[in-house]
């Protein structure tokens, strides 16, 4: 078994790759939710009946294995199951104090940066409901101010 640079011998690159693919599918799914035709079909109340298949591009992606390329809900489940396995494997191998110390910088620094960047984007770019916009985008068109941030803290 050849080792890739930077990977420890007990890492399973295949599981890391599968988690990466699942994360990309989730990003694709959320990107597609900005499109009204996709968001309406993804909304559970608007899917076609399962026992009647009419040949169309939408149905080919919705009711065939092609669904795996944008199945966000399924990809989230796969990601969390694999992450739980990797987490338990790491904690059982290393002492807990060592594990926590190594993860704090690796995980919480990017989280802090992402939350700060997201908060800035929400504050500086207004979001308005658009006529003809997807229900998903319009449901996230809320006004957020610094006062709201103060209430959270």
**82 with 108, same domain?**
no
Nearest-angstrom CA–CA distance, 75 and 105 = 26
pLDDT at 1: 44
| Domain closes at, from 42, 65, 93 | 93
Q: Is residue 5 part of a domain?
A: no
CB 62 within 8 A of CB 48: yes
Residue 127: count other Cβ atoms within 10 Å of its Cβ. 14
- Joined together, the tokens standing for residue 19 give 């988690």
Domains held by the chain: number: 2
**120 with 79, same domain?**
no
**55 with 81, same domain?**
yes
**24 with 76, same domain?**
yes
Nearest-angstrom CA–CA distance, 72 and 1 = 33
CB 135 within 8 A of CB 43: yes
Domain enclosing residue 85, as ranges: 12-93
| Domain closes at, from 73, 93, 113 | 93
| Domain closes at, from 72, 93, 114 | 93
Nearest-angstrom CA–CA distance, 123 and 146 = 7
Q: Is residue 66 part of a domain?
A: yes
pLDDT at 107: 84
**89 with 119, same domain?**
no
Distance of CA 66 to the CA centre of its chain: 19
Across 70-142, the runs of DSSP E, i.e. the strands, are: none
**53 with 104, same domain?**
no
Please give the chain's pLDDT, 153 residues, in tens.
444 555 455 667 888 899 999 999 999 988 888 887 777 766 654 555 556 666 777 677 777 777 788 788 889 999 999 988 887 877 777 777 877 888 788 888 899 999 899 888 888 877 788 888 888 778 878 777 777 767 766
Nearest to 107 by CA among 123, 120, 90: 90
- Joined together, the tokens standing for residue 21 give 């693919």
Q: Is residue 136 part of a domain?
A: yes
């Amino acid at each position: 078994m050849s080792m890739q640079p930077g990977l420890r011998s007990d890492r399973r690159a295949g599981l890391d790759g599968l988690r990466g693919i699942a994360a990309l599918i989730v990003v694709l799914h959320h990107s597609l939710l900005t499109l009204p035709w996709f968001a309406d079909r993804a909304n559970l109340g608007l899917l076609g009946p399962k026992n009647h298949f009419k040949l169309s591009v939408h149905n080919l992606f919705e009711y065939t294995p092609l669904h795996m390329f944008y199945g966000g809900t399924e990809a989230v489940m796969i990601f969390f199951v694999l992450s739980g396995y990797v987490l338990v494997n790491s904690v059982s191998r290393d002492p807990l104090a060592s594990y926590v110390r190594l993860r704090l910088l690796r995980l919480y620094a990017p989280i802090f940066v992402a939350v700060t960047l997201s908060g800035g984007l929400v504050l500086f770019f207004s979001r308005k409901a658009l006529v003809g916009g997807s229900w998903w985008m319009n449901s996230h068109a809320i006004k957020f101010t610094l006062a709201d941030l103060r209430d959270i803290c």
